[in-house]
A and B are shown apart, each in its own frame.
Chain A
Amino acid sequence: MSTYRLDKGGLIDRTKPLRFTFDGKPVLGFEGDTIASAMIANGQHMVGRSFKYHRPRGILGIGSEEPAALVQMGDGNAETTPNVRVTEQEVFAGLSVRSQNAWPSLEFDVGRMNDYAWRFIPAGFYYKTFMGPPGAWMMFEPIIRKAAGLGKSPTEADPDNYEHVNRHCDVLVIGGGPSGIMAAEAASLAGARVILVDESNQLGGQLLGETTETTLNDQEPVEWVVAAEAALRARENVTILNRTTAFGYYAENFVGLWEKCTDHLAPSDRPERAPRERLWRVRAKHVVLATGAIERSIAFHENDRPGIMLASAAQTYAYRYGALPGKNILVFANNDAAWTNAFALKEAGANIAGIVDARPSIDAGLLAKAAEVSIDLFPRSGIVGTKGHARVKEASIRTLGEDGQPTGATKQVECDLIAVSGGYNPNVSLFSQSRGKLKYDENIAGFRPAHSWQKETSAGSCNGAFDLASCLTEGVKAGTNAAIAVGFKEAKVASLTLKSNQKTAAETFELWDVPSGTGIQRAWVDLQNDVTAKDLRLAVQEGYSSVEHAKRYTTMGMGTDQGKTSGVTAFGILAQTMGKSIPEVGVTTYRQPYKSVSLGAIAGQHMGELYAPRRGTPMHEWHREAGAHFETVGDWLRAWVYPQTGETWQRAVQRESKAARTGIGILDASTLGKIDIRGKDSREFLNRIYTNAWSKLGIGKCRYGLMLKEDGMVFDDGVTTCLADDHFHMTTTSGGAAGVLSHLEDYLQTEWPDLDVWCTSVTEEWAVSSICGPKCHQLIADLFGDGYGPDDMPFMTMKETELEGVPVRIFRISFTGEHSYEINVPSEYGRWFWDTLMEHGAQYDITPYGTEAMHLLRAEKGFIIVGQETDGTITPHDLRMDWIVSQKKGDFVGKRSLFRSDTVRKDRHQLVGLITEDRSKVVDEGAHIIATSTEPAPPVPMLGHVTSSYYSPNIQRSIALALVKGGGDRMGETVYVTQRGNGEPIQATITDVDFLAEGAAS
């Protein structure tokens, strides 16, 4: 039975009951309830157990500030969500939540043994374990992992949809309380594009928990909010996002918003096509922060029992949710606001067991009002202990002396709720994230915004202005100024008549913790991570005097709540312990995110199949149909090998490689980067970009070039063809295409703007079929007629022609050393042309070969692959390609570096061939090369390493390329190649790289 549910009032719909379960037991809530308000209405405050000592934890707050009332939501292995704050999650029919960190049950938890051992798990326990002798963490970790922890991560893939949305606006208003509503009103009236975000399910903020004594324009607070929201929603230039948290304030007014779209609905009510969560990436011209204030507790002995709650939260449960948090409430405060809460709770039907106020003097009006409604008072007193297990049942109260120490007799007061108020902290988290500077305000005993770095304004309680009138006027002012700042004219905002008796914490007595008066004080500051006032003092004693160090040492504020309710209290205790002022001690850095954001929202739609492009060539479908296996090259998928039925890929590579030198092999080379280069200075440009000379390359002629970076190291290679005196077609490696184009543009735009040269990527303009082998010229002749044979068309030339009206460029170039043509057709005809080659090549037994065979074939010829034979530390000379570095032409990129003392060293790693003594033994790529037949004791002197290694079907032996120290001068020397594991090093002889050359492989 809902024994704590009020008969009327609040924003719940009593005609819409919603049943959910907590630890499998049914709980009745109503539409509009959070888990917290429904549990409170059912008389239950205990929700879970704490992280370290497994102490019972209840509900402290009302929203995202809640430190410890966390549950596991949902039972499925995929959908389950850990660490859900009961104060935020709305109930729906069928919702299932479970307490966390308790086993076997919430009431009887084995882990509470930690609590009896608390003296042996002091502050810094984890820190010392981490930093302790080697192995300590390894020993403790399994035990700690079992004992301490929060909820459980899902074990299966998340089935829900998440997405990113980008938005720009003139004014982003964060927080939909009175300040935020007025800021949005003023800015939108002026014509600004406004986004207003609020964490809760409805706008209103503190107004939703106000008593009806407060009126705005003679309307009750909620009526006014509803009307104000309707007016805003009616404007086209306003977007309102509910259940949305601004979690990160980044540079240039870039703010991340996290919208929870469907978690408040029963699964059957969730719109089928709506995402579960959205991550909004907003760029705002101006930001108004109206993030309110967060009440803080007071640390006193045994202050962590369920049923000990913040005073403003207690009022809000009664007025916003119609759930009385207690029937016999003791209030403990150091400011006037809590008295307003006490009177409101009394009005709502609770008995007020007393008001304990630590202050030396109290406003006469409040004392009179308390007397009028017969509330017992405990002035200049503090709570020094409590009793109760699943819920507090009694408090011990003592007078506090001048020195703050308890004096006199202890009074025991029965109660079922302690409503605590230690003052309010302006919620400056986002302001600090924006780089704003804080200042300490003694009046409110808290930090408020001082200096802004970004285009942002704080308004209302987050600015330290706690009273409703100031919140409203600061909101109007901030909204108006924001609109003006981004170029709009001020619009008149209708004036507001406010009536309110609300008292605020504008004058707060600095009180961080209350001594217990006995030897033992277990006064909790951080309820999630179990950090007590004593732990903080211990940190100072042990030398952690910086707040950042003390935080890490004690884990204070490092939980999922990031110390929203506890931070300033901790700084206060640290300052007191050090005998310093709070500003001297300072605050820890506020970092993004404001609260934990799901990984789903951060990944958005960019996951699974949509994680990255899968680039395919125009002939991709043909390769699929042919049963090719593919390899990834950057984002490209390239046909790697075409195994036939029952054939291993290794055998397929051998077959394909053999065919390419005996019949016709065909390769899809479309992924090669291609750049169209045009302009009268193109030759000069190529001279400067490549190491060799381009001044005399005739029209229709092709030339291979190496490109270096300024450090003299090989960066890319490829063949460039002269199409006209001022027009060249450059090819690059498949993976290097984008980088080469950037490199060229970089030099043209920043170094040589005087050159008349332009570059455009045409990589995908052309589909490239490369045919290779002794019979390939016959196939060309069949299709194109005479003029392309070995005698008619010299090596390294290009001819333009047509086939059935389709433009074709035939290049006689070769990456295999074999007679070969690379034939380019417009990509849209790529598949047609490939089909044509396959059809007409059938009589020559044309064999498709993949990239693996291509690598093997070029290795047989000793051709390099940039990125395989080079690794960014290899010069053309290291490749023993001195012939490609022109000595006659002028400067080129990287030239100067080729003359550094280090690059001219004789003992640099140089590219050589390796042939093994045993022709069948294929060495490992990457294997180290040593000089001895057995591996000596470490350190082993290394000669170099293997860069490419294959079994060549054409010369029928193992071949390898390697980078070996001074390799050019070691021809014929015997070396040994180490094997993985403990295999004997393999004997090999250093040779030249062209294994096809006469006598090379003998």
Chain B
Amino acid sequence: MTSIKAPFKQSPLGHRSALTGDGVQMSERAHLNKTMLRGDLETLGSAVASVAGANAPTASQSTYTKTCDVHWIGPDTLMVLAGEGEALADSFSSELDGKACQVANISNNYTVIELSGARARDVLQKLSTLDLDAAAFGKGAVAGTVFAHSNVVLACRLDAPDTFDIVIRRSHADYLWCLIADAGYEYGFDKQAIVAGETLRQ
């Protein structure tokens, strides 16, 4: 066996630096552990209770625990976000073994962009058709929606005011990062040049 260089990880937005504007900040929550749970919500709920020690969220809400964030994605779907080291897919898999449901590790399929600050809602409102008024989309709210050409999961966190997690597909992350930077330009974000310039087939 030959010697192999030590593995390194690359997050989808590893080439970007956090942005700070006047009342709005953006950064990547890289390398989070992510698990998709699909099945009967009661079944999934009991697994959430034993793995995370919390009740499963109700419709359009998220549950935040010390170890993970549990987002309600649909009537048969939950998405669990946890720290890099948390092998939650394995925990859920053993907890749900033999039950009618799906546990899928999607840690690499998505990344998470965090947008926060008093202006965060104004920035998001340039991309989202949802009602993002604090009264309509307050702490703990979550929604699957579309920002321009990208599907995202948007969650309003509980731990800080006006802090949002945007779960985005890996290959859409750079596009969305640049779109949000553009939306925040008015509030001081620097515009971000999209990764481009490839030689295209004539």
Question: CA separation between A964 and B114, bound complex, in Å?
Answer: 55
Tell me the residues in window 78-125 of chain B with beta carbons closer than 8 Å to chain A beta carbons. Answer: 100-110, 125
- Among the listed stretches B46-54, B60-68, B157-165, B190-198, which one makes contact with chain A, having 4 or more residues with CB under 8 Å of it? B190-198
Q: Does B178 make an interface contact (CB < 8 A)?
A: yes
Tell me if A163 is interfacial: C-beta within 8 Å of chain B.
yes
Q: Give bound CA distance, A212 to B81, whole Å.
A: 66
Residue A635 at the chain B interface, CB threshold 8 Å: yes
Bound Cα distance from A612 to B148, whole angstroms: 8
Q: Is A984 an interface residue (CB 8 A)?
A: no
Binds B, one of A362-370, A602-610, A689-697, A812-820: A602-610
- Contact status B125-A166, CB under 8 Å: yes
Segment 115-145 of B: residues with Cβ below 8 Å from A: 125-131, 133, 136
B38 CB to closest chain A CB, in angstroms? 4
Q: Which residue of A lies closest to B182 (CB)?
A: A605
Contact with A along B172-199 (1 / 0, CB 8 A): 1011101100110111100001111011
Among B8, B38, B127, B194, which residue has its beta carbon within 8 angstroms of that of A614? Answer: B194
Q: How far is the CB of A349 from chain B (nearest CB, A)?
A: 46
A488 in the interface, Cβ–Cβ < 8 Å? no
- Among B10, B109, B149, the residue within 8 A (CB) of A830 is B10
Residue A924 CB within 8 A of the other chain: no
Distance, CA A388 to CA B178, complexed state (A): 59
Report whether A836 and B100 are in contact in the complex, using a CB–CB cutoff of 8 Å: no
Question: Do B149 and A612 touch across chains, with their CB atoms under 8 A apart?
Answer: yes
B36 within 8 A of A: yes
By the criterion CB–CB under 8 Å, are B198 and A840 in contact? Answer: no
The answer to whether the Cβ of B17 comes within 8 Å of any Cβ in the partner chain is no
Is there contact, CB below 8 Å, between B129 and A281?
yes
Which of A828, A835, A839 has the most chain B CB within a 10 Å cutoff?
Answer: A828
Q: Would A766 and B108 be within 8 Å (CB), given that A605-B182, A613-B172 are in contact?
A: yes
Interface with B: A49-57, A615-623, A954-962, which one? A615-623
Q: How many residues on A have C-beta within 8 angstroms of the other chain's C-beta atoms?
A: 71
A679 CB within 8 Å of chain B: yes
Of all chain A residues, the one with the shortest Cβ separation from B35 is A760
> Is there a chain B Cβ closer than 8 Å to A891's Cβ?
no
Among the stretches A123-131, A149-157, A316-324, A800-808, the one at the interface with B is: A800-808
Q: Would you give the 0/1 interface string for A683-706, flagging 1 where the beta carbon is closer than 8 Å to chain B?
A: 000000000000000000000000
Q: Which of B102, B110, B176, B199 has the most CB of A within 10 A?
A: B102
With both chains docked as a complex, state the minimum distance between the C-beta of B100 and any C-beta of chain A, in angstroms. Answer: 5
* CB–CB B102/A679 < 8 A: yes
**A615 touching B171 in the complex, CB below 8 Å, given contacts A273-B186, A803-B4, A828-B31:** yes
Contacts of B174 in A (CB 8 A): 614, 616
When distances are taken between beta carbons in the complex, the residues of chain A under 8 Å from B182 are 605, 610
Q: Are B186 and A630 in contact (CB under 8 A)?
A: no
B22-70 interface (Cβ within 8 A of A): 31, 36, 38-39
A832 touches B105 (CB 8 A): no
Task: Please pick, from A161, A826, A839, the residue contacting B107 in the complex, using a CB distance under 8 A.
Answer: A826
Residues of A within 8 A of B4 (CB): 783, 803-804, 836, 840
A315-336 contacts to B (CB < 8 Å): none
Q: List residues of chain A with CB within 8 A of the CB of B11.
A: 828
Task: State the CA gap A635–B172 with chains docked (Å).
Answer: 9
Task: Give the contacting residue for A610; candidates B8, B100, B101, B179; CB below 8 A.
Answer: B179
Can you name 24 A-B residue pairings with CB atoms under 8 Å? A163-B126, A163-B183, A166-B130, A283-B131, A609-B193, A609-B196, A627-B199, A629-B200, A630-B198, A636-B171, A637-B200, A676-B102, A678-B101, A760-B102, A762-B109, A764-B109, A764-B170, A765-B107, A785-B1, A804-B7, A828-B108, A832-B8, A832-B9, A833-B7
- Chain A residues near B (Cβ < 8 Å): 161, 163-168, 193, 273-275, 281, 283, 605-606, 609-610, 612-618, 620, 624, 627-632, 635-637, 640-641, 676, 678-680, 756, 758-767, 782-783, 785, 803-806, 826-833, 835-836, 839-840
